């Protein structure tokens, strides 16, 4: 199949699909970090879809990563001034959230038979604007990674992703990426968003095997 992974620079999914013999391309405004620039389209992902496959033909499947910063549940309070509802809405943040949901709906409506969108758990405002519930939620520990990061998938023309290697909770009572209280232990930094958005190899392998 001709497959476009929109919003991917790590190439985890792209490489897993290529290993299965598919004509897959990653696409992002950044250079790829996966080591295969020949499989990467640098630029606007919507134009990449409209321009069709570099080697000819149309896209058979798209896997889309929309920037989650303004839609994720963990950042819901930032929609309000000072992080408090009593202070009223932060208009700039709210506008960016609405713009993100419009991009999300645009991805869902792409003229392609097989579509998968990945995003962290959304807050109620984004979910209401999008108007479509996720098809399923997945966790890294269901695919061989001793970490917790509840992630949602919206699917069209594709089956639910089945867990491939469910790990037990470590004896310490929390996953490797968490503090004892259950919070993510990755400290705030300029690269935190990029680091947390990386696709787990277990997820990529499952997508390639089950959707490919």
Residue-wise pLDDT for 125-181, tens only, equals 999 999 999 999 999 999 999 999 999 999 999 999 999 999 999 999 999 988 786
Distance CA 25, CA 15 (A): 9
Asked if pLDDT for residue 192 goes beyond 90, the answer is no
Q: What percent of the chain has pLDDT over 70?
A: 92
DSSP 150: -
Question: Whole-structure pTM over 0.75, yes or no?
Answer: yes
Backbone angles phi, psi at 174, to 5 degrees: -145, 160
pLDDT digits (tens, 9 = 90+) for 57-104: 999 999 999 999 999 998 899 999 999 999 999 999 999 999 999 999
Q: CB under 8 Å to 39, separation ≥6 — which residues?
A: 11, 14, 15, 18, 24, 25, 26, 32
Backbone angles phi, psi at 31, to 5 degrees: -65, 155
């Amino acid at each position: 199949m001709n497959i476009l992974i929109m919003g991917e620079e790590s190439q985890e999914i792209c490489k897993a699909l290529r290993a299965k013999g598919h004509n897959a391309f990653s696409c992002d405004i950044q250079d790829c970090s996966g080591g295969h620039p020949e499989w990467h389209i640098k630029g606007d992902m919507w134009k990449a879809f409209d321009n069709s496959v570099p080697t000819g033909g149309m896209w058979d499947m798209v896997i889309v990563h929309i920037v989650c910063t303004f839609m994720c549940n963990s950042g819901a309070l930032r929609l309000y001034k000072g992080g408090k509802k009593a202070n009223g809405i932060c208009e700039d943040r709210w506008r960016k959230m609405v713009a993100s949901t419009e991009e999300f709906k645009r991805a869902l409506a792409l003229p392609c038979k097989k579509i998968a969108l990945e995003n962290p758990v959304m807050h109620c405002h984004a979910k209401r604007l999008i108007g479509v519930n996720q098809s399923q939620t997945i966790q890294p520990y269901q695919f061989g990674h001793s970490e917790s990061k509840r992630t949602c998938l919206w699917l069209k023309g594709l089956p639910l992703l089945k867990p491939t290697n469910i790990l037990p909770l470590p004896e310490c009572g929390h996953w490797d990426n968490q503090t004892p209280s259950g919070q993510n232990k990755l400290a705030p930094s300029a690269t935190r968003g990029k680091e947390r958005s990386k696709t787990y190899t277990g997820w990529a392998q499952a997508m390639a095997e089950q959707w490919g």
